[in-house]
Homo-oligomer: A and B are copies of this chain.
């Protein structure tokens, strides 16, 4: 069976590019989406330079959505709704949209160590409210450092809490296994994204207080060995 393509909207940003590099390194076809197709094409070239033989293509966001069964939404939080509205007509039943956005207060000019309150509860639940019926939303990857993703020679020492309905959640958990060091943790229903997203603000504060430029991560202890 051909490997499923992974689309990454906002794949030119630090974290999206990091995921593109990691999934490409794992041999997965990647569709990088951007508002400007030229920037997506550039990012795809950059991935191919770092991962020889990578199957990576640059698209505008809507074309990227059309190209893949799994779509990672990796745009700054304040562009979440706008991006979804721009690609909504290309989303189709059975697709999985992964929300990795975090409502940091930077969206309103305040600091990254504080959160905005989101009416729906979280960025992931906002996304779920905006996608067409039949598209499944899963929350994941919020707490993974862009810096660590981009350093391909080192494992990413971080757990990924994956929340959403059971079937799509399990498919996204399987994706985590493609990246050395990442461990998927079953985060239960999508509403738990409220907690997981806010953890990002705490981690950003730890990065500052402990001067960890590579980014602090999180691990859960006491889980059964898998």
Query: Chain A interface (Cβ within 8 Å of chain B)?
Result: 113-115, 145, 148, 157-158, 161, 185-188, 191-192, 194-196, 198-199, 201-203, 205-206, 209-212, 214-224
A206 x B221 contact (CB < 8 A): no
Within the assembled complex, what's the spacing in Å between the Cα atoms of A158 and B188?
22
Chain B residue at minimum C-beta to C-beta distance from A113: B188
Q: What distance in Å separates the Cβ of A111 from its nearest Cβ neighbour in chain B?
A: 11
Q: Cβ of A217: which chain B residues have Cβ within 8 Å of it? A: 220-222
Within the assembled complex, what's the spacing in Å between the Cα atoms of A83 and B199?
30
B198 x A194 contact (CB < 8 A): yes
Given A158-B221, A222-B217: A188 touches B209 (CB 8 Å cut-off): yes
Chain B residue at minimum C-beta to C-beta distance from A219: B219
Q: What distance in Å separates the Cβ of A200 from its nearest Cβ neighbour in chain B?
A: 9
Q: What distance in Å separates the Cβ of A156 from its nearest Cβ neighbour in chain B?
A: 9
Q: What distance in Å separates the Cβ of A143 from its nearest Cβ neighbour in chain B?
A: 10
Pick from B114, B187, B206, B222: contact of A157, CB below 8 A: B222
B219 x A223 contact (CB < 8 A): no
A221 x B224 contact (CB < 8 A): no
Within the assembled complex, what's the spacing in Å between the Cα atoms of A217 and B145?
21
Given A198-B195, A198-B198, A199-B195: A206 touches B218 (CB 8 Å cut-off): no
Q: Cβ of A186: which chain B residues have Cβ within 8 Å of it? A: 206, 209-210
A-B CB proximity, top 9 nearest: A217-B221, A157-B221, A195-B198, A219-B219, A195-B202, A216-B222, A188-B205, A186-B209, A216-B220
Within the assembled complex, what's the spacing in Å between the Cα atoms of A224 and B214?
11
Pick from B161, B194, B216: contact of A223, CB below 8 A: B216
A212 x B223 contact (CB < 8 A): yes
B212 x A224 contact (CB < 8 A): yes
Chain B residue at minimum C-beta to C-beta distance from A212: B222
B206 x A220 contact (CB < 8 A): yes
